[in-house]
Structure 1
């Protein structure tokens, strides 16, 4: 054990001999003397920033992008009492998976008994009659005319009531 202590003591002395504190202290004192003259420098003021110009919001008078444009299918909203008469168990038809805005009227087929509307959605033409359902919101065809069809939708108002929307899908001239 005494050999271990001697080796440890020799290593400790060698490491302490390598640390000469006088040199680093002299460097620190010279740095402090050189920088003492720079402590009284004035701080530059912040630059003046002008306010950005105010631009008024002017889109309030524009048309609602979520409703059909005039001439493409006008619609109107009214409070409906028909919500209690909805048949929740009625099986949904294929065309009730599309939004009404996706439908285009491309023609009519009429007989003495009934009129049928030809509506295109996703590139496929469908033959519909009065009373058929279409659209995601319980839409039902109310009337078919040569130039347009009228569809009524029942939409929940989120407060337990129903809103009825009347939508006209005009005949597309160039189909």
Structure 2
């Protein structure tokens, strides 16, 4: 065991003598002096940042976007007498997949028996008669006139009752 300790001690001494290289210490001293010269240099001050301009929200004086504009085909609301008679079980028609705001009246077709309205939605013209359904809120065509079409919607009020809304879609004037 003592031979092992002697060999270990000799190996440690040999490894420590390799650390005392004059070339390495000169490089270390020059590196430290260069770092100290940089430490003595002055640091540039931070740039002055101006405060951001204050934004004033001015839309509070504008009309509420959820209120109807008078005279623009806006609907009128009233409590419905329909009760639970909404046709929940009837099959939905194709035009009930569109919002009423997407429809434009582009004309009428009349025959001896009935008058049909021509409505455009997403670039496609559809032919409707009184009693046809359209819109997502159980909208039904109530009357067709040369200058407008009247639609009644039946919407739940969230408390078990129903509200009716009368809406007119005016004829779109060609420009």
Q: Deviations over 1:131-158 (max 9, x none)?
A: 1000111111111110000111123344
Q: Gaps spanning 5+ residues in structure 2: where?
A: none
Aligned counterpart, 2:57: 57
Q: Gaps spanning 5+ residues in structure 1: where?
A: 39-43
Aligned counterpart, 1:111: 111
TM-score, structure 2 as length reference:
0.68
Instruction: Let me know the Cα RMSD of the aligned residues.
Output: 4.2
Aligned counterpart, 1:41: none
Secondary structure, aligned partner of 2:146:
coil
The answer on whether the counterparts of 1:109 and 1:118 sit within 8 Å (CA) in structure 2 is yes
TM-score, structure 1 as length reference:
0.68
Q: CA deviation at 1:125?
A: 1.4
Secondary structure, aligned partner of 1:84:
coil
Taking the TM superposition and a 5 Å limit, the aligned residue runs for 1:92-107 are: 92-107=92-107
Matched, 1:80 2:79: yes
Change (3 A) 1:98 1:4: farther
Q: CA deviation at 1:159?
A: 4.0
Aligned counterpart, 2:172: 172
| Aligned positions, number | 165
Q: CA deviation at 1:6?
A: 4.2
